[in-house]
Structure formats: C-alpha cells, structure tokens
Chains A and B, each alone.
Chain A
C-alpha cells in the first residue's frame, strides 16, 4: 500500500442510476454464489482442497471404469450403479459442503444482511438448497458424462450410442433422486448449528446410524418387514425407489415400490418444510 506516495483523486460520490433487477435476479445470484462456494470457486486455495479431491475421486472412478470397459469390452459399472457404489463419497461431500453453505452464514451473522435486502427468508433457504442439490447432482452427473462420452466414442454402431443414452438418462435420473433426497437432509442438519464440525458430524451420523437399522430389520421379522426395511435409511430408501422405478427388481422391495416412492417424496417435503420453518425464525 502506498497511500503516502500516490495521490487519491476524490471524484466525489456518484448516485447509481442504472437498472435495479428484482427478487428473481437476487435469488439467482445467491444460488450461483452458493454453487460456486460448494466447489470452492472464488474462495481461498484452502477451501478448494476438499471439493476438488472429491471431484477428483469421482472422475478417477469414471475414467477407470471407462478405460476397463474399452479394454475388455464389458460394462463394469452401470450408470445407475455409480451413485450406490460411491454413496459414502457423496455423503462425505454433503457433510462438508452443506455446513460450508449454511453453518458458515449462521456463524458469521451474515443473515441480517441478506434479510434486509429484497429477498425473503425462504428465498435464501431455497437458493442454498437448490445450489446444494445441483452440486450433489453434478458430482454424479459429470462422471457419468465422462463414462458416456467414453462409451459413445468406443461404440461401433450409432444404435449402440442410442441404447447407451437410455442407460445414461436413467443414471442421471437416479443421480437426481440421490441429490434430491440427500441434500435437504444435510442442509436441514447444518442449518441448526453455526459450528461446521458439529454440522458435518450430524450429517454423517444420520447416514451412519440409520444404516445398521436396515441390517437389523432385514434379519428379524417377516417378509413384509424385510421388504420395508430399506426405508429406515436414506441410502437404502433411494435404492428401494431405484428398484421400483429405474431398475425393476421384485425381490428387493416386493410389492412396496410405491411406498418407497411416497416415503422419498415425504422425506424431501418434510426436510424442506422444516427448513422453511427454521429460516422463518432464525434471527441472525
């Protein structure tokens, strides 16, 4: 800094006469800012480390799968199986990024600055949630795109590419389901504490603690209990929905497919509702 040597010419204050865009633009700006924050863009090098490592792992898996497939000519991993095999990475990503998006704002007390601008409290919650869902979806969709590109270039006939597109589309849909169910849970937990470590622990705990319940329910009880056991944990719940809609397997959820569908929708709605309630009250 050289305030002593340089002369600062004060040209005086200028009033702003340009356009003022409305609430929609403000919410979009917040969404884009949050999405960039999720991947550490526009942030310090330290903040980039984690998201980039996670992205690197996902892409590495995609590249390996694609390479193996082109060598041995067999599908090693279906698109729709990618989320299930990497669900731990997704959970970890959400457990770190969700607090980054919401707990950090609670801690620094920045919320009054948002709420004193032309957006609503719920706009804030939805913009952040939208960004988190998009980030989680991209985390799965981009590796799938890499796999698809690899498959498309290695295909002999155009018909194969089209058949592949059907699988690819199902994969993207399943990735969206993953993001839609997981992100609201992570965000809801994170919105209750300003301490990022607590929030991350809470998110991981929800996914970890519920997993053994599924196992226990799968052993005890009758066929109905076993068919419904997967509802107990978010990871297995989305797997149940997949087994019903995307990749019909009667033996996983039996005749209870629609129950899984409804449960997933109910879970999403509940989390969103609680988020709206939470942000209606949070003061700072």
Chain B
C-alpha cells in the first residue's frame, strides 16, 4: 500500500511539474504573440473561453492608451487571413484615424452566435467604443444554428473566478491550455508567411450558403442581427455593419449561382436597416479579381482598397449624421 501511495505521489508531482512548465511556456508564448498581433482564437471550439481571452486582449491593449476605441468584429475576412497585421484593412483604418485606437476582435471562423457571445464579453469589460465595425460573413452565418431566443448576457465565470482555485483549474486543464494551443495559435504563425499563395479551385456547393435554408430561417437571421446590433450598441455610439464580399468569378467557377449570394446579402442589409445608429453596407459582388486572394479573402491590395471604401462610407455617414 505504501508503494502505491508513493507512486501516486510521484505521478502527482510529475503532473504538477508538467502543468507548471507547460503553462509557463504557453503563457510566455501568448504574451509574446499578443504584444503586436491581432486577437484570434481560431480552433477554440468552446466559445465560452473566448470571453477571458477577449477581455485580456482588449484590456491589455487599451490599458495605457486613452484614445477612444474602435472595435472590429468579424471572421477571417476582418482578421485578415492570412496577412501581416499591417496589411489588413483594420490597420488602414488605424492609419486614417490616428486619434482613435483600432482593436481588431475578429475570430477566424466566427459565426453569429459566436459574435453574440463575444459582444457580451466586451460588454462585460465596461469599455466604450466610439463606433464598432461588424462583419457578417455569409459563409459563416450558419442559419441552422440561430435561435429566436435572445439570451441575456451572463457574466463569464471563468474570468471573475480566476482567483478561485476551482475555476482556475477548470480553465487551465480544459481548452486551450493543452496541446490544443499550438493549433489555436496556428494562425499566428501564418503571419510569418505573407508570400503564401492561395489556390483558385472550384469548391463544392456545400461550401456556399444555401439560399433555401436562408429563406426558411430568415426570421431567425433577422432576430439574431437585431440582437447583435442591440448588444454592440451597449458599448458603441454607432455601428457599421457590412456583408463580407465574395468574388463573383469564384462562385461561377464553382458553378454556384452568384445571384444567390446577392439575394442573401440584400436580405441581411434589409434586416439591419431598421437600426438608426447602424449603417448597413454591402460591397456587392463586383470587386475586381485582383483584390482577392481566394473566393472569400482579400489580398493585401484588396485590404487597402476595402479600407478606403469603408472610410469613404464612414465619412459620408458621419457628415449625414452631423447634418441631422
């Protein structure tokens, strides 16, 4: 019995040592990664874990910066997959508006329910933004997952109980502190490879939004977009909501009718239009092929052009608002 207990003790010591060593290594890595990088939690499957990370990111970035904030929400499009930070349209917004601090909170693969959770977490930080930019990506919308129930924001237990031992262990032994972390930060490495070539290949129709499903679930989509606007408006004075552009030729190459994408984009814009503090934008399908890296992602030149396009709408709208 004594040998068994001794062996268990040794195992426990090994586990604790591994925990300390692994957590220290990963923490150092995260700290280094977030110093000059965008917020990204790709592959963190459990959206409840975005909360602590998003809060840490926003609070960490804005701690010593008194400038008013501009927050960007979206998916890989807004995140700038897979270009360096300075080649993403959020960077161009920052350059054009140095009086503000632009924080890109896009998450690769972000869907609408993920966006709602993230907005709740940002709401929980108490940080206010002068305005927010919200991207709606038709390829990530996943209408089948949307619900009509508008769940109230709940406080993130992980965050508030970090001082508590139980929650600490819950947070650290589950995602993303295990070997999943290298996968989570996979995209950070992606930054190192701006020369990466996208491929122009036809994609199966299952990659594209299903128009029938969108029509069937339009009441759910409308409700979710209104809920997103309502949530974001709790910490933003105004909102710019845009539909992420798609390359028309890419859809045609895949034998998917591009007009379906336009129909869905029109639907999104019409749902958003009822909010007086929101400007709803749709860049349409007509962007030039040279601006795209692949079907749904812009290249560096595309990000520059998109940033200018967005700024022109912002300027115009601000003039209109001030005129009112």
Tell me whether A and B are bound partners: no
Q: B-side interface residues toward A, CB under 8 Å? A: none
